[in-house]
Structure 1
């Protein structure tokens, strides 16, 4: 009798232990399953945010709102708030209503309606150059170049001459560095303006006979670059990080030697 009671008690104990084990296992599985669905706070565009809008102003004016989403559904880079170091950055493109707000959507440079990003404090100036003046086409957007200028200064007898005038015996041709290092923003083909240019392009096998080079310069250098593009002859020199170019006296036809400053 006692043995039967003992066996029955042991069976009941095993049943309780088994039940509790299953309970804790299921509870742990549920916790593990829910861990990946933990809610996180994200920023969402409540209204359209136009390109160029400061991140801080987008929050202040109610263009952005916060929302809770499962953590495993949120892509990398999503913002939960606009921190102080991001408040003055601007949207680089339009943000549509309902779109998650990513860190990559904001930058310090305001978008230019032209589609050309000009560095802070600079202006973009375009000059028209031939193939040899453009380093045979190796100059690309993002390249750094030096700009050299060739022009007529006068002659040995002091007779004043000007660029664009017929070259006469005794004229002095000078080549000097105009801009030691500038950034190229864009490259574009020069348009064919007349029939003669079209024939010239055709004779060249359909290749471009000119190229438009847009560079980032400050006001002072823009004035010099525009003036010399109208009155002189410009050549670009492609630079590397270790290239050394500095303004100097240049070279002229009187001496046909290179002189240092």
Structure 2
């Protein structure tokens, strides 16, 4: 009887504690939590600070249990300079993950501080089609002729080979705008001439003042090609290859053939 009485008392205490905890949880779930919603369209590239200042977002409150996971609840000096990664439509809850250090997609973004914007004209294959968008990081390669300076017979023989080389012009630059309208429509021709007349597009990148000199020279003198950088990829800034390396030419044998 004593044991049964003790068990009954313990069970009643557990039930009371559970009920009290459930009541506390229910009350907490109904307490309003701060959250932000888009009052107007928030364009990609808009900072949180500007969105708040121009009243593109509005503060509201919802019950805690109705709060979307990941919703933005505070705008602070630590996050107010983050940019909208894409357009946010009116009525949407503003999610913290929708803001970051650089927007992506088809919209252009501002030129980063201390950098220059330069446009490169590339064919569709050379710009990797539609895979490159504003916010992408690319490497730019330059294909060029290989010439030696000199008047001796060996130098002249080498230059007569018209060998080509490809060098990393810029190993990592940020795309800030893409031109989607072809600059020239291809004519109905076939073969190599058709490839040469393929439509080209403008790709605008942000470069440092030092990089701008290399890029300006490359645009004027070389054939350029872009490579879309993936996560953790390593592109050697001084990377180079040429006809001799690719085809494993014997330079001495080549010169003998030219002399003959």
1:105 lines up with 2:94 in the alignment: no
Give 1:24 shift: 5.5
**Contact kept in structure 1, 2:39 and 2:58, CA below 8 Å:** no
Match of residue 71, structure 1, among 59, 64, 74: 64
* Closer/same/farther in 2, CA of residues 242 and 172 from structure 1, 3 Å limit: same
Give 1:46 shift: 7.1
User: After the TM superposition, which of the residue ranges 223-232 and 84-93 deviates more from structure 2?
Assistant: 223-232
1:41 lines up with 2:30 in the alignment: no
Give 1:178 shift: 5.4
Structure 1 partner of 2:141: 147
* Closer/same/farther in 2, CA of residues 193 and 65 from structure 1, 3 Å limit: closer
Structure 2 partner of 1:55: 48
**Contact kept in structure 1, 2:137 and 2:173, CA below 8 Å:** yes
* Closer/same/farther in 2, CA of residues 75 and 144 from structure 1, 3 Å limit: same
**Contact kept in structure 2, 1:147 and 1:179, CA below 8 Å:** yes
* Closer/same/farther in 2, CA of residues 151 and 184 from structure 1, 3 Å limit: farther
Give 1:246 shift: 1.4
* Closer/same/farther in 2, CA of residues 96 and 124 from structure 1, 3 Å limit: same
Structure 2 partner of 1:128: 122
Structure 2 partner of 1:231: 221
- Identify unmatched segments of 5+ residues in structure 2: 1-8, 153-158, 245-249, 253-260
Give 1:153 shift: 5.3
Aligned residues: 218
* Closer/same/farther in 2, CA of residues 181 and 215 from structure 1, 3 Å limit: farther
- Identify unmatched segments of 5+ residues in structure 1: 1-16, 159-168
Give 1:179 shift: 1.1
- Larger CA Rg, structure 1 vs 2: 1
Give 1:82 shift: 0.9
Taking the aligned partners of 2:192 and 2:169, their CA distance within structure 1 comes to 34
Taking the aligned partners of 2:74 and 2:102, their CA distance within structure 1 comes to 21
| Secondary structure at the counterpart of residue 84 of structure 1 | coil
Q: What's the CA shift string for 1:92-117, capped at 9, x where partnerless?
A: 445455432221232333689x6245
**Contact kept in structure 1, 2:111 and 2:206, CA below 8 Å:** no
TM-score by length of 1: 0.54
**Contact kept in structure 2, 1:188 and 1:211, CA below 8 Å:** no
Structure 1 partner of 2:205: 216
Q: What's the CA shift string for 1:177-220, capped at 9, x where partnerless?
A: 3515134747989666353xx2227998x9x9576584735154
Taking the aligned partners of 1:75 and 1:124, their CA distance within structure 2 comes to 41
Taking the aligned partners of 1:175 and 1:244, their CA distance within structure 2 comes to 16
**Contact kept in structure 1, 2:141 and 2:225, CA below 8 Å:** yes
Taking the aligned partners of 1:138 and 1:97, their CA distance within structure 2 comes to 32
Give 1:72 shift: 1.5
TM-score by length of 2: 0.54
